[in-house]
Amino acid sequence: MAAEEKKLACPGCADTLKEAWAEANYGRVLLLDQCASCGGVWFDRWELYFAKAASIKSLHTVDMKAFLGPVPLRTGSNECPRCSTSLVPFTDPSLPGDATIKRCARCAGIWLNRGDLLKYASCKERFKPASFGPAPEIKALKRLQKELNTSNIGIPTTLELACALDNEPPIETKEVVKDMGFLILQALLRLVFKF
């Protein structure tokens, strides 16, 4: 008989987290943990960054009946639902500064309540590129590259450039091999005869 999975407690209101599916980048799907009472979502490591903004917004909304029920001011333990470590405030330049985001220092999971989750999704949508084509600067550089005929220009090697800068003749590889052989022989003699 399989062991029963541990029920995850909401860090915000102590209710049980339920499974919620969200679409992610590259055609993947994420299995998130969401609180039906307060609407907050637990993201395991890296899941927040992979989730699409539209799918975050379409997650289940708050159950108003439970939220306004007999104990509306329930508070959770502010602990990680996975490893029971205290959650700490988390900041990241890619995350909205006005959202209160909490992170587990042990497992790197992230907790967002419903309001902060919507702020994050809106922020993520604002930074979505308008088109997937190259930037205008890249287009201009490619056009210039096509206009220039570089096929008849010889590109010097690094060794030729170094020699041209120093006005010295190129290094002979036979001489380098002789010098390396001499150094190796000298090191062996010192080891054998200890002098």
Count CB atoms within 10 A of the CB of residue 127: 8
Q: Is 140 in the same domain as 120?
A: no
- For the stretch 60-112, pLDDT in tens is 665 556 555 555 555 778 899 999 899 999 887 777 878 888 999 999 899 98
Q: Print the domain residue range for 61.
A: 17-126
Q: Is 99 in the same domain as 163?
A: no
Burial of 31 from C-beta contacts in 10 A (0-12 / 13-18 / 19+)? exposed
pLDDT for res 12: 84
Q: Does a structural domain hold residue 59?
A: yes
What is the pLDDT averaged over residues 121-130?
Answer: 72
Q: Is 45 in the same domain as 86?
A: yes
Gap between the Cα atoms of 9 and 34, Å rounded: 10
Q: Is 52 in the same domain as 85?
A: yes
Gap between the Cα atoms of 43 and 120, Å rounded: 13
- Is pTM beyond 0.75 here? no
Question: What's the one-letter identity of residue 166?
Answer: D
